[in-house]
Each structure stands twice: as C-alpha cells, then as structure tokens.
Amino acid sequence: MAAVDKSFLKNQVFWVLFITSTIQAFGNFLPGIYLPSFAHDLNLSTTSGTLALALMNATSVPGIIIIGGMSDMFDLRVPISVSTVGSALAILLVWGFTANLGPLLFFACLYGFFSSGFSVLWSRFIGVISTEDPRLHSILMCLFVSSRGLGNVLSGPLSTGLMRHSPFDESVKYGYGVKGYGSLILFAGLCMLASTAAITYPYFAGKTIDIDVPLSTVSRFTRRGSRERS
C-alpha cells in the first residue's frame, strides 16, 4: 500500500486553518460549561441555567443548517466570519452585559446559533487544502476533530485559573463583574475573535513551510480524533 502523502503538512493553508480551529476550540466550550453556574451566581433559579443551556443546544441546529448552507452558497470566508464574529459579539456584548434572565436567554440563543456552525466548515477547510489523495480526507478531519478536543481539554484548567485571577471585581456591573466571570468572558470572546483570522487563508495559498513531522505523530493524533468522533 502506498504511503499517505504528508505534503499537506507543508501547506501554509493547512496550518492557518488548523491553528485558528484550535483557538476557536479554546473558547467554544466555555459558555456551555459555565452557563448554569453563571445563572446561579446571578441569583437566578436552577431552572434558568438549565433553560439557557437547552436553548443553546436547540438553536445550534438551525445554526448548523444555515451556516453550513452558506458555505455552499458563498465564499468560505463569509460563513467563517458569520460564525466567529457572531460568536464573539454574543459573548462580549451580550453575555458580558447580562444581569438578569432575559439577556441570558438571548445570549444562549445567539451563541448556540453562531458557534455551532464552525465545525460544519471543516469539510470545506479540507477542500481548500487541495489534496488529491482521498485517504487524506479522513486524516485531515481527524486532525480538526483532535484540535477541538485539545482546546476542550486545555480550556478547563485554563478557565479555572482565569476565574481565580480576574482583573474585574464585583464593583463592575453586569456579567463582567460576577464572581470572576469577567476574565472568562473576555477570554472566550477574544478566542472567537482571533479565530476570524481563518479568513486570511487565501493569502497563504501555494505557500509552503519547511517542516518534517513524522507520520507516526500524525497517526497518533488522528487516532485520538477518531475516538472523539466515535
């Protein structure tokens, strides 16, 4: 059996999309993890946090459909911008200024819609990496899934540290001043905003970097991605 082509590892487009996907993953899971406890610290009922989480999950369905559809209708940079900028604005301007149930539920709907569509774009990412080896589709998909898993795992302890050393105190109004959530909100929003850099991928088309990653390393990473997909 012929060896799998590793030339995609020298493709700068791959690294732009892979790194920005990892950055997006660092902020992606934080709202869903902390929304129930945030609602509790706002002195809202337990059902309020549960309702917000349910709305976030429910609105992710139309988000996946619409943003996925946009990727077929428009230039890839359009749905990337819609997903990342929409998520960032929802976090920084709505969650950050939430003080009661109404804005919290509004944030849950907005964030669920915009953030869910990013992972749908992975198949388009693979297309612009422009490889002719059909076996690489699965490898690249596993790499993108693994990047999300990496962000998910590392964002947990990182977010704990952020909440313990928040630059905001409780004198700051709204969500930014709620028990250390200010730094968490800022971090998640900036991660989403930074991942917008994925739209720069056309500027790296045809450019390569001198890198030699052993195929065994790629294999270990993709096996991890395969487990996460299953």
For residue 129, name the pLDDT band (cuts at 50, 70, 90): confident
For residue 1, name the pLDDT band (cuts at 50, 70, 90): very low
Helix axes 135-164, 12-28, angle to 10 degrees: 40
pLDDT in tens, 194-213: 999 999 999 988 777 766 65
pLDDT at position 168 is 66
Residue 58 resides in a domain: yes
Residue 16 resides in a domain: no
Sequence-ordered list of residues with C-beta below 8 angstroms from that of 226, at least 6 positions apart, any chain: 142, 145
pLDDT in tens, 136-185: 888 899 999 998 888 888 888 888 888 887 776 666 677 788 888 888 99
Residue 35 resides in a domain: yes
Residue 141 resides in a domain: no
Spell 183-196 as b/e; 16+ CB within 10 A means b.
Answer: bbbbbbbbbbbbbb
Residue 227 resides in a domain: no
11 beta partners: 208
Overall domain count for the chain: 1
Q: Which domain holds residue 36?
A: 27-134+156-220
Question: How far, in whole angstroms, is CA 40 from its chain's centroid?
Answer: 25
pLDDT at position 199 is 96
pLDDT at position 224 is 53
Residue 15 resides in a domain: no
pLDDT in tens, 63-94: 999 999 999 999 999 999 999 999 999 999 99
In this structure, what CATH number is given to the domain that contains residue 87? 1.20.1250
Residue 43 resides in a domain: yes
Residue 18 resides in a domain: no
Tell me the pTM.
Answer: 0.85
Dist. CA 150–CA 51, nearest whole Å: 28
